[in-house]
Structure 1
Amino acid sequence: MKVKSDRQNTFILCCTFLIIVTNSCINQSKSNKENQIVQTKTDSKLLKYTTAVRSILEDSKGNIWFGSYNEGVCLLHNGEFQYFTTENGLSNNQVRSIYEDKNGIIWFECGRGLSTYDGKEITTYRERNYNAKNEWKLNESDLWFKGDETSGYNKLEGYAGVYQYDGQQLSYRTFPVTPKLGNEFPYPVSTPFVKSKNGSVWFGTYGAVIGYNGANFKILDKEYLGLNEQTGFLHIRSIMEDSKGNLWIGNNGSGVLKYDGEKAINFTEQQKLKKEDTKGNSLESVFSIGEDTSGNIWFGTVEFGAWRYDGNSVKNFTKEDGLESKHIWFIYKSKQGELWFGGADPSGVYRFNGNSFERKY
């Protein structure tokens, strides 16, 4: 009887041990799974793009759209990210600009072609009118887009120009510029268009800023600006009109120009922020410009993060200030008045909290 009792006790002890081990494994597995879910939730609050955030739009429904350098577009709706690429109807995975028209349709200006979102799906927009290339006119709700090619112009466009969408039709308009022999493609649109407070519209092209007021054109090219090999030629990557009516022009190489409607100055040179002056971080390769609610002007550069001009001096913000991205492709003012900085190296969207930068998306 004693032997049987000992066997029973041993059996009970083994079963108890197995139950404890099993429960421990289950709890550990549950804990790991919970940790994994928490980590997933944390990661889902940030964009997964790795190349760059190149464009941003808050639409009328409260959604936020993020265009990437070559990974498509992302919709942030009710705290959830949804990603779209050419497999979902985009004409190209590079999304340079995003707009909303008066009917609530979202437009994506891609590296090649255009796409739209009607609230249900993204489709490539293919309708074009080439029969009125010189019939320039302005409407209050116009949207303007670059040519269909990544660079240069296709056979139907034929010449430097821009697409105008008036709410009903997309028509190609030709710029009144004459390329020089040997430099036939200096005027592809390289920036989002800017609507001026006086009703004019401005287009940034690689070789000139072109303005149209409904009757006349203003061409700010290298001849008008007095640029040469010594000063550096135009390679325009951004334009912005500030609250005082000044037009700021960001160049990749020759720095920032400021045009007040009568004359232009080289702001980078004026502030002594060329490489030869600083021997370090410079304000020469500028890809984005924005203005905050206090009237400060911000510049996004290729290598040296963001710069802020407060009307008196210029301050540089980099990784040491929380701005992980050194290449700032885009500066966007949110509906709440925040400036969002879309960057690369690494990719992400940042905001300035008054003292330093923090990752927002």
Structure 2
Amino acid sequence: MKYIHLYALFLMFLFCASCKGQAKTGVLNDTVSSQGPDKMVRNVKKGKDGSILIAASLAGIFRYDGRSFTNLTSNIGARRFWNVLEDRQGNVWCATTESGVYCYNGASVRHFTTKEGLPNNSVMSIYEDRAGTIWFGTRGGASRYDGKSFQNLTTKEGLSNNGVHTILEDKNGKFWFGTGGAACSYDGKTFTVFRNNEGKTFNNVWSIIEDRKGNIWFGASITDYKTGDTLFISPGLWRYDGNRFTKVTERAASAIMEDTKGNIWTTGSVSPNGVGDWILSRYDQSTLYDEKPAVTKITSIKKMLCGILEANDGSIWFGSINGVYRYDGKTIVRK
């Protein structure tokens, strides 16, 4: 059992679908470099063509094609970019924590803010569901965009917390929300806070995935008790098989990914308050359901490790406080 001081985390969700119908910002002139960004990289995603998309705070949104890095947001200026997604139509959505969302169609960029109906301009998450609808998580609530207007979902509608970090649609069409408070699910009508076998909520969830077998994986903190302004918590990596929540390990997990071989990868801090070393870990697929799964520590770094991605060549990319790294199974190289 470990402890941290009580601190407020707010963020939330938002629905969106295309770049149509919003105020045009202008045409972008991309800049190209042989080097990747040297700023904090929060998220790394895969583009439609297999390229690597990188969200670097105060540096930009970059696309790596295997040879060079192209800054897609050169003309937008310095923004606190947090997340990125290329949708099925080829639009690149760029989330910021202070100025809403930018949508780049390859020629021009459009800007979405609270003026267009977003619940908040601090956007942490972007997700495209199976129907092609784009979801966003903001500090002010969840929102859905139908191409004309936004439908906002907040605690007034039953959302567990107005700070959504991540979202997932599972194979049954249920949506899972990780928030700064309790995590919850949504069936299209009702929000349900999910709890462990002792009835306690899963808090401060930053990543949720569904593996190839249909199990839900997420990192969360369980509050054991509170004394004054201090929370005593137990962090960990959890798995849900549709009936039961199983704590896989005590190790924290802020980002989670399943690779093509079925291994589970995580980044997470050693300390529950995020201070000190952060670790990139791999859980071997052959032992995932053992009482103590085999875990390999790939590397550690001070302060922060962020999003994880498996590239088409099998290499693992991950963000950090000082840029983006590539691991080829033997060597880690900063790009």
Regarding TM over 0.5, the answer is yes
Would the aligned equivalents of 2:43 and 2:307 in 1 still touch at CA under 8 Å? yes
Alignment partner of 1:347 is 2:323: yes
2: CA distance between counterparts of 1:102 and 1:69? 25
Q: TM-score, normalised by structure 1?
A: 0.63
Would the aligned equivalents of 2:142 and 2:162 in 1 still touch at CA under 8 Å? no
Greater RCO (CA < 8 Å, at least 6 residues apart): 2
1: CA distance between counterparts of 2:159 and 2:304? 33
1: CA distance between counterparts of 2:136 and 2:159? 20
Cα separation, partners in 2 of 1:352 and 1:173, compared to 1, 3 Å: same
1: CA distance between counterparts of 2:297 and 2:257? 15
Alignment partner of 1:96 is 2:82: yes
Does 198-207 or 73-82 show the bigger shift? 73-82
- Deviation, 1:350, is 2.1
2: CA distance between counterparts of 1:76 and 1:342? 14
Q: TM-score, normalised by structure 2?
A: 0.68
Cα separation, partners in 2 of 1:79 and 1:94, compared to 1, 3 Å: same
Would the aligned equivalents of 1:45 and 1:79 in 2 still touch at CA under 8 Å? yes
Q: 2:61 aligns with which of 65, 73, 79?
A: 73
Quote the residue 1:241 is aligned against.
210
Does 334-343 or 243-252 show the bigger shift? 334-343
Would the aligned equivalents of 1:255 and 1:267 in 2 still touch at CA under 8 Å? yes
Quote the residue 2:16 is aligned against.
none
2: CA distance between counterparts of 1:139 and 1:291? 19
1:47 corresponds to which letter in structure 2? G
2: CA distance between counterparts of 1:140 and 1:235? 28
1:331 corresponds to which letter in structure 2? I
Quote the residue 1:265 is aligned against.
246
- Deviation, 1:122, is 3.5
Q: 1:295 aligns with which of 251, 262, 268?
A: 262
1: CA distance between counterparts of 2:263 and 2:246? 18
Give deviations 1:58-98, integer Å, cap 9, x for gaps: 3224543210134332233573323356x7236x7222221
1:97 corresponds to which letter in structure 2? N
- Deviation, 1:243, is 1.1
2:75 corresponds to which letter in structure 1? N
Give deviations 1:217-254, integer Å, cap 9, x for gaps: 332257x86338xxxx6221211111111111113661
Alignment partner of 1:114 is 2:101: yes
Would the aligned equivalents of 1:288 and 1:300 in 2 still touch at CA under 8 Å? yes
1: CA distance between counterparts of 2:55 and 2:68? 16
Quote the residue 1:49 is aligned against.
38
- Deviation, 1:352, is 4.1
Would the aligned equivalents of 1:203 and 1:211 in 2 still touch at CA under 8 Å? yes
Aligned length, in residue pairs: 267
Quote the residue 2:229 is aligned against.
none
Q: Structure 2 stretches of 5 or more lacking a match?
A: 1-32, 120-128, 222-233, 270-276
2:239 corresponds to which letter in structure 1? K
1: CA distance between counterparts of 2:281 and 2:162? 28
Paired residues for 1:280-291 under 5 Å:
283-284=251-252, 286-291=253-258
Alignment partner of 1:208 is 2:182: yes
2: CA distance between counterparts of 1:326 and 1:339? 20
Give deviations 1:300-355, integer Å, cap 9, x for gaps: 11324212222242324244xxx6677321112334554322223x43222242xx
Q: 1:172 aligns with which of 152, 171, 175?
A: 152
Would the aligned equivalents of 2:308 and 2:319 in 1 still touch at CA under 8 Å? yes
Would the aligned equivalents of 1:146 and 1:188 in 2 still touch at CA under 8 Å? yes
- Name the larger-Rg structure: 1
- Any idea what SS the aligned residue of 1:300 has? strand
1:258 corresponds to which letter in structure 2? R
Cα separation, partners in 2 of 1:212 and 1:178, compared to 1, 3 Å: closer
2: CA distance between counterparts of 1:254 and 1:169? 39
Cα separation, partners in 2 of 1:58 and 1:209, compared to 1, 3 Å: same
Cα separation, partners in 2 of 1:216 and 1:204, compared to 1, 3 Å: same
- Deviation, 1:169, is 4.4
Q: More helix by proportion, 1 or 2? A: 1
Quote the residue 1:305 is aligned against.
279
1:236 corresponds to which letter in structure 2? V
Q: 1:254 aligns with which of 235, 247, 255?
A: 235
2: CA distance between counterparts of 1:200 and 1:301? 26
Quote the residue 1:189 is aligned against.
164
Would the aligned equivalents of 1:325 and 1:348 in 2 still touch at CA under 8 Å? no
Cα separation, partners in 2 of 1:237 and 1:78, compared to 1, 3 Å: closer
1:103 corresponds to which letter in structure 2? Q
1:288 corresponds to which letter in structure 2? A
Cα separation, partners in 2 of 1:129 and 1:339, compared to 1, 3 Å: same
- Deviation, 1:205, is 0.9
Q: More strand by proportion, 1 or 2? A: 2
Q: 1:145 aligns with which of 136, 141, 146?
A: 136
Would the aligned equivalents of 1:165 and 1:171 in 2 still touch at CA under 8 Å? yes
1: CA distance between counterparts of 2:64 and 2:135? 25
- Any idea what SS the aligned residue of 2:183 has? strand
